[in-house]
Amino acid sequence: MAVYAIGDIQGCMDSLERLLGAIAYDRAHDRLWLVGDLVNRGPRSLDVLRWAREQGDAVVSVLGNHDLHLLARAAGTAEAKRRDSLDDVLAAPDRDALIDWLRARPFLHVDAGHVLVHAGLHPRWTVAKARTLAAELEAGLRGPEWKLWMSQLGGAAPAWRDDLDGAARVRALLSFFVRVRCVDRDDFEPVTDFDGPPEDAPDDAVPWYALPDPAWADHAVVFGHWAAHGLRMGERWIATDAGCVWGKGLTAVRLPDRAVTQVKSVEVAS
């Protein structure tokens, strides 16, 4: 059995089909780890969701910020954005089944020394603590009052503290699990106004994974979210987002030997 981590798909079903062919994916034997952002900006979000749901246990997918945006639109707590390509999902006859499937996805997956997350982790979180914190979010999103829970997500996120509660705690957790790229090197607060390559980061900012002695460092973290970062690997991290929706590439990294398969994107965002 092979396990592949695949970068942000964002509705790029044609590129995904090309990549699955390149790795000779067989759902009976292989496992796919999807880093989140299954949907939005690419042209076939509905097809990606239907495909992922049909794979059953062969696919593990964590939630990304675009996935949460789809859920917020379905819940009526967010308006459409200019580049959204979600209308086909929201109008689909199987919309409710797809939304329920998506909101049951985890924010964190841990197995065999690897952690799968969309964006990143706080440097003071052990993997065990991160799992506990992710479970808090998952309980709210999977519960009967999930639409009310979604209404908490708007607004700025405070810096993470253990004693946060309510909507502030939810937003602070999501600022790492689904949104972080760089953090302030002194107080670890996410730098929200920078999404360029790490080499161009402000002097006081550092990629979230690059701070010394992070508490999660007994695992290797697999993440996406950062298209300008691109496919790169460090000893304890694997960045998989190769910018497929921007006309670049879609990547599969085979775990644990880190063999890379990449296909050229056939989609470009509107």
Decide if 186 is inside a domain: yes
DSSP letter for 3, please.
E
**pLDDT tens track of the chain, all 270 residues?**
899 999 999 999 999 999 999 999 999 999 999 999 999 999 999 999 999 999 999 999 999 999 999 999 999 999 999 999 999 999 999 999 999 999 999 999 999 899 999 999 999 999 999 999 999 999 999 999 999 999 999 889 999 999 999 999 999 999 999 999 999 999 999 999 999 999 999 989 999 999 999 999 999 999 999 999 999 999 999 999 999 999 999 999 999 899 999 999 998 654
The whole-model pTM stands at 0.96
Residue 42: which domain range?
Answer: 3-264
Query: How far is residue 88's CA from residue 65's CA, in Å, rounded to a whole number?
Result: 19
- Integer Cα distance of 139 and 33 in angstroms: 21
Q: Do the domain assignments include residue 164?
A: yes
End-to-end CA distance of the chain: 37
- Distance (Å, whole) CA 146 – CA 234: 37
Does residue 269 belong to any structural domain of this protein? no
- Distance in angstroms (rounded) separating the CA atoms of residues 63 and 223: 11
* Domain harbouring 53, CATH code: 3.60.21.10
- Are 16 and 4 within 8 A, CB to CB? no
Helix %, strand %, coil % of the chain (to 5): 35, 20, 50
Closest CA to 27 of 54, 66, 6: 54
User: Is 270 contained in some domain?
Assistant: no
How many domains does one find in the chain?
Answer: 1
